[in-house]
Amino acid sequence: MDWVQYYDVSVPMRDGVELVCDVRLPAGRGPFPIVLLRTPYNKNVHPESTRMENISQYLDHGYGMVIMDVRGKYESDGEFPIMAFRREGDDGADTVAWIAAQPWCNGKVAMTGASYCGYVQVYAAREHPAALCAITPGVFGNDGFGNIVRRNGIPQMSLLIWALHHATGRVAKIFLLDWAKILFALPLRQLVEATGMRRTAVFDRWMRHNHDNRFWHSMGKVEALADLRVPVLLTGGWFDLYSSAVVDSFVFLQQQPHLKGKIALMMGPWLHGMGARESGELDFGPTAEVDITEVNRRWIDGWCREVEADPIPPVRYFVMGVNEWRRAEQWPPVATEEEFLLLACDCAANGLTGDGRLDDCHGTAATDRYIYDPAAPVINLGGNVLSFGEGMTAGPCDQRKMEERPDMLVYTGEVLDRPLEIIGFPRVELYVASDAVDTDFVARLCDVYPDGRSINLSTGIVRMRYRNGFDREDPMAPGEIYRVEIRLDVTAAAFLPGHRLRLEIAGSSFPQFARNHNTGGDNWSDPEYVKATQTVYHSAEYPSRLLLPVNPAGAEDVF
């Protein structure tokens, strides 16, 4: 299809700064409904790229397309307000109003995009621009301290690397650096300095605000989503950095009466880049391959065009293992029953050579111990991270290389004789002690295949200083026993007959999360670290256990 293109069009914001966009319109008579994408990743599109294919899909279906560089990036003026979403909200609302006033717009505007391009939609929608009809944000977080820059208060290293690439200048930096070496720099200030970046103030602020306070609230809280009024389609992946945040956002939105019938959720077996059939080391089959642009366009059709759109179920989710799509009216999609397995062993659960097990009764050993050394952390193999090449892979991967280590506790269940389907948030209740004043505990749920592969499904972490809340830091008393709960990433997976469940417990998952120095100091400026001896209790008095949201009915609504 032919279209008309206008390059480098300036759009004035309320403070006088001009942002720049490209406008593409279908050939023929307008006006048209417009789809807006605001991006920090460069509005300029190669004519043979996947991005151009996505643009063409909208144009072929009668939409105009506007792509804008956000403030301070590429062609646009001003300073990039990284993660300062109130600024992005104002800019987005001003842009929607400008588009609606153009003769080629019929007064209806939708927004699309994922990741940072998802955040800017949400915060523009909170400003209630009159012409905005629908948004389609994908793979985004909802809490600065809880799941965006940090996870439960712990710096997420892949997000910091993203910021080093994209947030320290007008254009993205492509570093020729040995990330595997640089990532181990302590403290984190040295990592930033090693890249040669001059603008480090943003990292200093992120790393020095060690409580959940007003600073972090400027990046959003899930409660801020209550201000949304327009229809919202949320998309995410089970192995994305923000998988749980997307589902939590949907759960919150479905509780808002004014959004009844206006929200939908789609979760697939994907990484941060959605839609592929392969993630990490697994191929989930042809049904996992989805055209996310088409999904978003169909949602926009239903709210921005006077055409009858195909009905979209409120919830669509992919169940891994059986590799099939399900639909539901809400989340949780089914009435799951929480079942638990106890952590147990008779000798020691250290590594694959230990006798750790998941069982319905306690073993003869009441404790397990390991030493967590920040200088030699357990490395995450894949997982819910942003992928940055070999130094930071994402998705489902075989964990056996790490499970051989004596500083990881490994608890494995019996071979299953029938499918076990879990849908939701697994949890781990641990009774722990340490000889350090602060430390981390990581829990990872894996699916052990008949050939021995141990594939990660879901991970969670707790930093002990935040065990009583993110608004304070409470040191541990060395040797004292504490009960902590770790919520793992949301998932939907079937453990098939012949497979086994496995739970890993470790002191780190690096470079997914910044290492705890065990000193009570901060990651940014404290160069000191010490080893910590960790004790996990599992007995009648201290029943550490894995809790699973089990779907007792199994597959019911396959499509």
Which residues are known catalytic residues?
115, 240, 272
What is the number of helices (H) and of strands (E) in the chain?
Answer: 11, 27
Cis peptide before 543 (omega within 30 of 0): no
Q: What are phi and psi of 463, to 5 degrees?
A: -100, 120
Is residue 326 within 8 Å of residue 317, measured between CB atoms? yes
Q: Are strands 337-344 and 545-550 parallel, antiparallel or unpaired?
A: antiparallel
Cβ contact 81:71 at 8 Å = yes
Which structure tokens are listed for 378?
């357990």
Structure tokens at 259: 């959004």
Q: Which two tokens stand for residue 84?
A: 């300062």
Q: For residues 180 and 141, give the distance between their C-alpha atoms in angstroms, rounded to a whole number.
A: 26
111 close to 118: Cβ distance less than 8 angstroms: no
Residue with tokens 């999360």: 513
- Cβ neighbours of residue 141 under 8 Å, at least 6 residues apart? 119, 147, 148, 220, 241, 242, 245
Query: What is the DSSP annotation of 41-88?
Result: S-S---TTSHHHHHHHHHHHTT-EEEEEEPTTSTT--S---TT-HHHH
Instruction: Using alpha carbons, select from 438, 306, 445 the residue that is nearest to residue 374.
Output: 438
Is 94 within 8 Å of 13 (Cβ atoms)?
A: yes
Helix (H, G, I), strand (E, B) or coil at 460: strand
Sheet holding 324-328, edge to edge: 3-12, 18-26, 64-69, 32-39, 105-114, 132-138, 232-237, 263-268, 315-319, 324-328
C-alpha dihedral, 465 to 470 to 472 to 475, nearest 10°: -10
Q: Do the Cβ atoms of 122 and 130 come closer than 8 Å?
A: no
Between CA 252 and CA 255 the distance in angstroms is 5
User: 299-309 burial, b if ≥16 CB within 10 A, otherwise e?
Assistant: bbbbbbbeeee
Say what the alpha-carbon torsion angle 398, 403, 405, 408 is, to the nearest 10 degrees.
130
Q: How far out from the chain centre does Cα 86 lie?
A: 21
Q: List, as own/partner pairs, every contact residues 354-361 make where C-beta atoms lie below 8 angstroms and the sequence separation is at least 24, other chains included.
A: 354/409, 354/410, 356/409, 356/410, 356/411, 356/412, 357/411, 357/412, 357/413, 357/414, 358/411, 358/412, 358/413, 358/414, 358/501, 358/502, 358/503, 358/546, 359/413, 359/414
Alpha helices in 383-503 (DSSP H): 400-403
d(CA 219, CA 141): 9
